[in-house]
A and B are shown apart, each in its own frame.
Chain A
Amino acid sequence: MSMILSEEQVLLQDSAREFIKDQSPVSLLRQLRDEKDDFGYSKELWSYMTEMGWAGINIPEKYDGLDFGFKGLGIIMEEAGRTLTASPLLSTVVLGANSIVLGGSDEQKSTILPKVASGDCILALAVDEGPHHDPENISVEAKKTDTGYLLNGTKQFVIDGHIADYFIVAARISDQAGSLTGLSLLLVDKETSGIHIDRLSMVDGRNSANVTFDNVSLGASALLGEEKNGGDLLYKVLDLGRIALAAEMLGTMQQAFDTILAYLKERKQFGKLIGSFQALQHRAAIMFSDIELCKSVVMAALTAVETNSDDLAQLASLAKATVNDAYHQISNEAIQMHGGIGMTDEFDIGFYLKRARIAEVTLGSSSYHRRRYANLNGY
């Protein structure tokens, strides 16, 4: 119902913003990239985040989490997005932990969730099998055996795939590829034999990997949720991921816009501030208006998660598509309005462009979500 933050949520936002500004400047991502860091995120930063309870923010108290609610997570994602913070928030806290909270058995929950909450366990959801997000056409197969499952196939662009302790793999147990039924989610320990991981180097400097499962033998206890009915669980988790990622992107685009605005008020040409030129003023005003719409769709989607609304899927697609398009535009303007300096590696704004394109296609491009919105609305 509420489209504005509660007092408690505002406090969280203030402390998150302060923390991110101090502890996670863009220079940290630059350093990880330049040093080709083995982990792709700062373990020190992650331990601070964990101390504040962020790793367990969506985990029930019973499993050592904070149980603060999804809006709280959205607030953190947005603030972390401002400085392009590289961390396991999306892979582990949003997609991983929620898969287990929503679908896991008591044993799976008690084995894994406390370790996630203490920051000692990285999870990776393995869904995509090609360059485009296409969860409706999963073909990686888990064949039923006497003792469990035999997993075969390759997952691509798995976020934090090279550092994951566990994979949550969306696999087909029955039916043809393209069918919406017959899917299951399987919890796979990275130590299981037959797993090959290729870390990918992406333009945004953030973690991604291709993961091949070659006759990986799993016990029956690897199953998350019900066999062959994993589709609903998967789609729910993907929607949570889309909404949380949209929140992150909202933070990122606002920071990019603030950077643009500061430059318009500082850079002079022809003896005048370039922000006095109407050609730039109007474009800035359009970007600002787009951000206002983005704030609303993200807030509505976060609220829908907390109220378990029937509109969740629709609002997730609305949020992701709206934010995608606005961030796309702002990331391009960010370079153009900075002129030559925007093209230099030394200046941070390029990082915002590079992150934009990866974030846009992650968990569904705009055209994917407009198609989905059409399907959900019956036209």
Chain B
Amino acid sequence: MTDLNEFQQEVRTWLEVNCPASMRTPMVADEVTIGGRDTTFKNPDTKLWLERMGNKGWTAPTWPKKYGGGGLSPQETNILKQELKRIKARVPMISFGLWMIGPVLLEYGTEEQKQEHLPKIVRGEISWCQGYSEPGYGSDLAGLQTRAVEDGEDYIINGQKVWTSYADKCDWIYALVRTNTEVKHGGITMILFDMASTGVSTRPIKLISGLSSFCETFFDDVRVPKKNVVGEVNDGWAVSNRLLQFERENISADVFASDEVFDVRKIAKDYCSGSDGKVSDPLVRDSLSKILMKDHALKLTFKRVMEGTKAGSSTGSTSSIFKFIGAELNKDRYEFAIDAMGQQGMGWEGKAFTPYQLDVAHEWLRSKANSIEGGTTEINLNVIAKRVLGLRDS
């Protein structure tokens, strides 16, 4: 216990010195970084904060030190999170590397892959995107057609991916490719390659929100060494499902249940309060309680499942439960926000609206994808029904 107290003191002191003041203010949309080779920082403090946290290994607190991680125990990780929360520190970066491919490499990667990729993920030097969905294969992911054909020590990859987040800005991709056309699930392989490779091109997709964080990604005779396969050839479906579990858990925990998501309570008070400072319309107040209580219950569930996992009790396909509840909750949150703000929360652009109001409007539209990306709500309900409840199709 005293060791943990000492650790807490150490963390507190370190953060005091190393977390720049502007990194303790609420996140602004255009200061979010995904890291990577060519990234530019609007606010120089963002760069500083990422470098310091990355060098300390605290962007990936639980990863082993030899791969650049923090090497912290679960208890120490908790303390670090608490201390970061205490000073309202911003997340240093949004990273698919940290959330998804990193944890998968720790389980499935070769020693060479771990040493090459993990430290760069921790420090935000290389950013990663995900090549999963294809134009004809979204929810039916296992039908994917992007081909990888052997050629000596390499694979030659041809095909198209879609909904690749930040593909136009990312350095590397982890992609699912077809290495066997005879069988559906058993013919898929996960492979890693540099987005600067010859034959890779991307095209941003403009969304209903006006933003373009997703791309179409094209592979035209891209040559990738065989040693970049993650796990076994033709065993990519298992690897990809493990990755999806990480994705669903981490999106739910870090995004949908984050304290950094915008404050619906403040919106209700700002736009709907009476002279006593409380929300005056009882129905609005009730809706707000529903959202905040669901959020509270979800956070307690993360805590319970985390403690259960630590104690060794298996909890089943919790990632699908988290993803389903978290995504629906986040959509409800934005619906509540624009309802509470009225037309002032539905501006598209212009000086009649504050940047915050415009953010809410665009993020409301963006939130509709929450229950589509990373497995639709319907797919997650299928997973729960089949894998947890044992309800079969026949």
Contacts and interface: CB of A to CB of B under 8 A. Distances in A.
Interface of A: 2-4, 261, 264-265, 272-273, 275-276, 278, 280-282, 284-286, 288-289, 292-297, 299-300, 318, 321-322, 367, 370-371, 373-374, 377-379
B325 interface: yes
A318 B296 contact: yes
Contacts of B289: 321, 370-371, 373-374
A261 B386 CA distance: 12
A282 B307 contact: no
A272 B394 CA distance: 6
Contacts of A284: 385, 389, 391
A289 B286 contact: no
Contacts of A286: 324, 381
B296 A289 contact: no
Contact of A379 (B265, B297, B385): B265
B388 interface: yes
A292 B324 CA distance: 12
B311 A379 contact: no
Given A3-B307, A4-B311, A261 B286 contact: no
B297 A318 contact: yes
Contact of B392 (A4, A273, A296, A374): A273
B391 A373 contact: no
B385 A285 contact: yes
Contacts of B288: 374, 379
A3 B265 contact: no
A37 B289 CA distance: 42
Contact of A321 (B278, B282, B293, B381): B293
Most buried by B among A2, A276, A278, A370: A370
B304 interface: yes
Interface residues of B, number: 44
B292 interface: yes
Contacts of A296: 297, 300-301, 303-304
B394 A4 contact: no
A153 to B, nearest CB: 29
Contacts of A264: 391
A111 B293 CA distance: 42
A377 B286 contact: no
Contacts of A318: 293, 296-297
Given A264-B391, A273-B392, A281 B382 contact: yes
A276 B391 contact: yes
30 contacts: A3-B304, A4-B308, A4-B313, A261-B389, A265-B390, A276-B391, A276-B393, A281-B381, A284-B389, A284-B391, A285-B324, A285-B389, A293-B297, A299-B300, A300-B300, A318-B297, A321-B289, A321-B293, A367-B286, A370-B293, A371-B282, A371-B285, A371-B289, A373-B293, A374-B286, A374-B289, A378-B278, A379-B278, A379-B285, A379-B288
Contacts of B269: 379
B329 to A, nearest CB: 10
Nearest to B382: A281
A289 B324 CA distance: 9
B290 A281 contact: no
CB-based closest 4 A-B pairs: A370-B289, A281-B385, A285-B384, A3-B304
Contact of B297 (A3, A275, A322, A377): A322
A370 B321 contact: no
B298 interface: yes
Interface string B357-394: 00000000000000000000010111011101111111
B268 interface: yes
Contacts of A281: 381-382, 385-386, 389, 391
A286 B386 CA distance: 13
B279 interface: yes
Nearest to B301: A296
Given A379-B279, A379-B285, A282 B389 contact: no
Given A281-B381, A293-B297, A379-B278, 19 more contacts: A4-B311, A273-B394, A276-B393, A278-B385, A285-B324, A286-B381, A289-B321, A289-B325, A295-B301, A296-B304, A299-B304, A318-B293, A322-B293, A322-B297, A374-B279, A378-B278, A379-B265, A379-B273, A379-B279
A307 to B, nearest CB: 14
A377 B308 contact: no
A264 B394 CA distance: 12
A2 B307 contact: yes
A282 B381 contact: yes
Contacts of B301: 292-293, 295-296
Max count, chain A CB within 10 A of own CB: residue among B279, B282, B297: B297
B392 A275 contact: yes
Contacts of B278: 374, 378-379
Interface centre among B289, B304, B308, B378 (most CB of A within 10 A): B289
Nearest to A326: B297
Contacts of B380: 285
Contacts of B293: 318, 321-322, 370, 373
Given A284-B389, A293-B301, A322-B293, A374 B285 contact: yes
Contact of B265 (A276, A280, A295, A377): A377
Contacts of B325: 289, 293
Interface in B263-322: 265, 268-269, 273, 278-279, 282, 285-286, 288-290, 292-294, 296-298, 300-301, 303-304, 307-308, 311, 313, 318, 321
Contacts of A285: 324, 380-382, 384-385, 388-389
Contacts of B290: 370
B391 A4 contact: no
A288 B325 CA distance: 11
A370 B278 CA distance: 14
Contacts of A3: 300, 303-304, 307-308
Contacts of B298: 293
B296 to A, nearest CB: 6
Contacts of B282: 371
B303 A288 contact: no
Given A4-B311, A297-B297, A289 B304 contact: no
A373 B394 CA distance: 45
A65 B24 CA distance: 51
